[in-house]
Each structure stands twice: as C-alpha cells, then as structure tokens.
Structure 1
Amino acid sequence: MQLFARSLFSALLVGAFLAAPASAKDAKPSAMAPAAAQDKTLTVFAAASMKNALDDVDKAYTAKTGAKIVASYAASSALAKQIEQGAPADVFVSADTAWMDYVKDKKAINEPTRVNLLGNSIVLIAPKDSKIDKVTIDQGFDLAKLAGDGKVAVGDVKAVPAGKYAKAALEKLGAWTAAEPKMAMAENVRAALALVARNEAVLGIVYSTDAKIEPGVKIVGTFPATSHPPIIYPVAATSTAHKGTDDYLAFLRSSEAKAIFEKYGFSFLVSPTT
C-alpha cells in the first residue's frame, strides 16, 4: 500500500510539471534578466585630455537616448595596450593616430568606423602666480634657460601623445637637447597639468584644452602648429563593440557634440552629421 502511495505521488508530480506553462518551465535565473539594460551600456576608452568635454557629450547622449556611457580616461598608450589585451571597450578615442594605428594592426578595431574627429594645439603653461608671463616660442627658443633650476612637466615623451608632440616641437625648435634633463615625465597629460598647478614644476607643456580647464595654471606661450605633427584625435569602434555603438559614434559627429567640443577648445575635423 505504501509503495502504491509513493508511486501515485511521484506520478502526480511528473504530471504537474508536464502540465505547467512553458514560460514557467523555461524561466531563466533572475540574474539574466537585465540583458536589455546591458545592451544600453557602452564603454568608452578615451585620451585623458578629453575628460571634461567628453563627459558633457556623454551626458547629452544619455539624455537623448537613455543609454548609459561608462568612460575610462588614461594615456592613449595605456588604453591601446588594454584594448589589445582584451579589455571590454566599445569605443576608443586616441589623442594621436599612432596608437589608433597600433590597435588597428592588432585587429582590435572596426576599421570602417574610424574617423579623425578632433584637433588640438600644445601650449607652454606656468603656475597661475608665476612671474613668467608671455613667451615667444619660435626657432631658438631656450626652454632650459626659462625653466632655470625648475622642472618642466610633460607627458612621457616615449608613449604619451602630448609628450611626443612636445618633444617633436622642442626638437624642431632646437630646444630639446638642453631642456631634456629638466623634463618631469608624467603618466598622462592631466598628470603633467597637475604638477604645474601644484607648483611642483615651473613650466609644463600640455594641450590648450587642458590649460583652459585648470584655474591653477596660465598659458604663457603657444607652440607653432608647424613645429610638430598635426594633433589629431581619431575615434573608432572596437572589434568587440556592442549593439548601439554606431548610434553613439554618429552622435559624436553631430552638431550637438560639435558645439560641446568647441566650447572646450577642440577643433572639429568632420562635417556634422545632423
């Protein structure tokens, strides 16, 4: 009798399962539910010098679309190496074409999406209360003499785009050899900017856009555009980019984004899409 009862109970359980609605049987764990929300989140790796401007652009994009943008800022060299190693980025914005070429050669970007988006310039800065004022930067410019016993803050000239532009300009103007021992190398251009703002360096070479957002420094001179390679910020989707990246890239080329970038001092190198 007990055996019959157990068999009957088991049969009822199996029948109940088979009769259950398909939606209940096929339900996935709740942790999988937010897939749609994940599709609306994009990760952007961008050069440190873009932080303030791109933060505002991303806020505008989120307000318009509801998509969430997670931005990571660092030296273009560091970001390119991270992308090469498989970091989960959807978009890469470099401060020079060399590091974009690097990730292209590693087959880490979607090459047809690549666009030269922005331009910039490099300037000589000093702490806000410095006695150094207007400086003419041309052939024969003596940066070493101007710095005296102090240091000149720059991005690492071997890897950081701002540092490479600075070295190229100083070499072209005949100032590099004497000035090299005075260089204080920083991990990115914003770190170089901070050294000057804190009076830990008497001078610095940064992008004009960086100098304009830091109240602790002043621009004392501008490097001629002919003294260094063109400063170009290319943008591209990575080879592992998620759905929605194309819409974001289109927004970066829009009139709305153009107005924000130009407000921060960048030049806009493409024709606005809208």
Structure 2
Amino acid sequence: MSEPDIIIEGRKKDLGGFQVARVLPFAKKRMVGPFVFFDEMGPARFAPGNGIDVRPHPHIGLATVTYLFEGAMHHADSLGVSQEILPGAVNLMIAGSGITHSERTDPEVRARGFSLHGIQTWIALPEAREEDMASFEHYSADTLPVFVEGGATIRLIIGSAYGHTAPTTMLSPTIYFHAEMAPGASLKLPEDHDELAVYLVSGDARVDDTALEPGQMGTLEGRSAKITSQNGARVMVLGGAVIGKRFIEWNFVSSSRERIEKAKEDWRASAAGGWTGTPFTLPPGENEYIPLPGDDLPEPPAPSKDCPTT
C-alpha cells in the first residue's frame, strides 16, 4: 500500500451563486494521461429566472466532455448541433481543427429554477488527430455501460474497464468513469494505464493509505491502487496514455504554439468578418461571442455570466 503521487486541491471561484473548482491543469501536474483540464461545476441552486449563459467561444486541438450529476445544460455549436444534456448522459465535442459552441440554460428550465452539479473535462487530441474535422456525440444515460464492481456502481464514460466498453469515441488510450461507492466498498483500479487520477466529489474515500477530502484529486503514475470508502462516496476516475506536452491558451490546446497563435488570429478575423465565410462561425441563432482576453473587440450588448470552464 502507498500514497498517491500528488494530491491536487480544487481552486474554487464564486461566480455569484455559482461555484467552479478548477483541478487541472495544476502547476505540478499539467495533465493526467490525455486530460488537460478538469472542473467541478457547482453544486449550485438557481432561482427562477436565472441560469447559465456561456456565450459562443472557439476550441481547437481538444475534446470537451460534459457530465452532470444534477440539472441540465443546452449545447449549441457551429456544426448545427443543438442538444440538451441531463444527468448521467455525456456530451463529447471533438474540436479538432476548430469549432464554436455555447452552453446555456433552456428557457423552461430557467423559468422554474434548477440545481446544477457536474464535471467538465478537456482531453488533448493525439498530435496526428489535432486537425481532424470537428464532430459531436451525445449519449443518453441509458446508453452508457452501468455495472457494479467492488461495491461501486460504475457508469463508464470513455474507454474500457472491468470487461465493459463505452460507446464514446476514443482517439488515444483513455479511461473515464463515475463511481458511486456503497459503504464499505473496495474498488481496485485498472492497471493498464500510464496515469490515473481519482477525484472525490463527495463522501469519504481513501486511495490506498491516503484519505482524500471532497474536492481533492489524487494522481497515480504507472501502478495499481485501490479506492475504499467507509460510509459511501461519489468519485470520478480518469487517465490513460501519456501523449506528450501540450500548450494551453484560453480555449485552445495544441502541440504547437504557432497553431494556437493562428487560432487566435482566426477568431479575431472571424469576428471582424461577421462570421460569414470565416475560419470560425457562430452556432445557428447565436449573435453573441466572447472576444479574446485583452482584445479591444466590442463586448456583446447584453451582459452574460460566463462560466470559466470554457
């Protein structure tokens, strides 16, 4: 038995009744396998009339993965996709060479008030797939493998584990699952991955000899480990093969700094060109956008609360 290599504490930010905890990237641990970004959204309660409005913004070189425990969000993108996500479902958006998307609260959900709690991650694409055409996948909760292992009820989000395989596209060896651990559960983690991490959402859990607090992630490199819980816990397990260094700036991820600079110029040019015949376009029906940080492009006239997870 041993300890995790690194314990990462989520850095929390209050957005006026909506709290986000940023876990990855971390100064001493920029990535876990291909995962370059990990945020816990909420839990938060929105009064009637309030909601999330993340205006259209661009991505390159990554796949975004949205997974909710509670609530609902609506995704719209420049491919023309319009998709609500509910608890236990997965939205996987592969940005590839470039995509624009927004995340908002549907009017009927906003009108009645709601709670929101979930996880957003970014997965860096393999270098050979960074310029793939953008794509989007949605899997409802009943289409993902759900099974019991070691006293934990597991929903497999990406990859293969314990004899089960998720339907989501996987561009490099990746594992990602949600586990609801019953009191007394003892779950041995898969061994065939370069790196793994365990994030404790709620409850109590130990990774081998080390207790995690809610909001902490323990990382493991190249070895097996066991998660135990005395009273029950909700955990996320993620990781996979190491894919090499990645640069991250704003919403862009790439193996090349020059490619990120091009993406920034493409976003500027698209805004200046009115989003028609430009490198980036807006989702159908959208007319707002988020300028590059520090740019003097005009802000949209209607104020929005932009979630820092994007």
TM-score (normalised: structure 1): 0.28
Higher strand share: 2
Greater length-normalized contact order (CA 8 Å, ≥ 6 residues apart): 1
Q: Which has the higher helix share?
A: 1
Tell me the TM-score normalized by structure 2. Answer: 0.26
The structure number with the bigger radius of gyration is: 1
